[in-house]
């Protein structure tokens, strides 16, 4: 068995259990069983449950950033870059329902609160994708192609609908296809453009 195999198994089991049943449905005993190891083994790979939960979250953040940066260059026209990011986030989430559900649960739990407290203080956010958006909005406002609003609001206008739409797709309330994704992204653009 490969060296960090059990570590991966535990992360995957946590992802699935939390995504499908929430944190309440993912006690250590269940995580271990689902990973095919004993409860005590968790503590050989992670200091405690909180560390496991947080490391998984960081892994997923990294996965999104990597996916978004694929085919993204600063040389692309502004509007095209915006649409690339918006559609990229939406497509990532609807093709990764477990990841979406996990991250959403995380955000609205004591873990998410603690995470923000610990990480959001350093304004620009460490290795995340925050700087991508910041750069984009700064340029868009300077070029007067998008509304002159605080970055936080621009972010909410652009990605608030995306999260909402992704959730409804994953919960089965709507079935998105390429055409609808295009229309949604255009609508987000309409809401930002000057």
Note the residues at the interface with a copy of itself (CB under 8 A). Answer: 22, 24-25, 104-105, 107-110, 113, 116, 147, 149-150, 152-153, 155-157, 159-165, 168, 171, 173-174, 180, 183-184, 187-188, 190-193
The alpha carbon of residue 68 and the mean position of all alpha carbons in its chain are separated, in whole angstroms, by 11
Q: CB of 46: closest distance to DNA in angstroms? A: 8
CA distance 136 to 2: 42
159 contact, one of a copy of itself, DNA, none, CB 5-8 Å limit per kind: a copy of itself
CB of 104 to a copy of itself, least distance (A): 6
Q: Judged by CB under 7 A, does residue 2 bind DNA? A: no
> Chain-centre distance of CA 74, in angstroms?
22
Distances (CA, A) of 80 to 29, 85, 186: 47, 9, 11
C-beta closer to a copy of itself: residue 41 or 109: 109
Q: In terms of CB distance, is 44 or 116 closer to a copy of itself?
A: 116
The tokens describing 91, both together, are 């497509």
Q: How far apart are CA 124 and CA 103, in angstroms?
A: 20
Residue 49 is a binding residue for DNA (CB under 7 A): yes
Select from 42, 19, 16 the least CA-distant residue to 29.
42
| 24 interacts with DNA by CB under 7 A | yes
- Residue 3 CB neighbour total at 10 angstroms: 6
Q: Which residue has the tokens 């260059």?
A: 73
Count of beta carbons in the 10 Å neighbourhood of residue 162: 20
Regarding 22 and contact with DNA (CB under 7 A), the answer is no
Q: Considering the complex, what minimum distance in angstroms separates the CB of residue 113 from DNA?
A: 15
Which of 8, 20, 22, 39 touches DNA (CB under 7 A)? 39
Residue 34 makes contact with DNA by CB under 7 A: no
């Amino acid at each position: 068995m490969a060296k960090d195999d059990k570590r991966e198994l535990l992360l995957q089991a946590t992802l699935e259990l939390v995504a499908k049943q929430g944190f309440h449905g993912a006690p250590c005993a269940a995580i271990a069983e689902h990973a095919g190891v004993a409860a005590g083994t968790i503590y050989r790979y992670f200091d405690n449950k909180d560390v496991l939960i947080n490391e998984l979250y960081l892994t997923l953040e990294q996965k999104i950033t990597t996916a978004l940066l694929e085919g993204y260059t600063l040389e692309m026209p502004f509007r095209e870059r915006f649409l690339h990011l918006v559609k990229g986030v939406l497509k990532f989430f609807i093709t990764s329902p477990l990841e979406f559900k996990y991250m959403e649960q995380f955000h609205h739990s004591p873990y998410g609160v603690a995470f923000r407290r610990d990480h959001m203080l350093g304004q620009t956010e460490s290795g995340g994708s925050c700087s991508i958006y910041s750069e984009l909005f700064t340029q868009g406002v300077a070029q007067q192609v998008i509304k002159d609003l605080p970055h936080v609001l621009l972010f909410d206008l652009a990605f608030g609908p995306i999260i909402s739409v992704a959730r409804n797709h994953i919960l089965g309330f709507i079935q998105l296809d390429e055409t609808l994704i295009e229309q949604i992204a255009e609508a987000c653009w309409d809401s930002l453009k000057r």
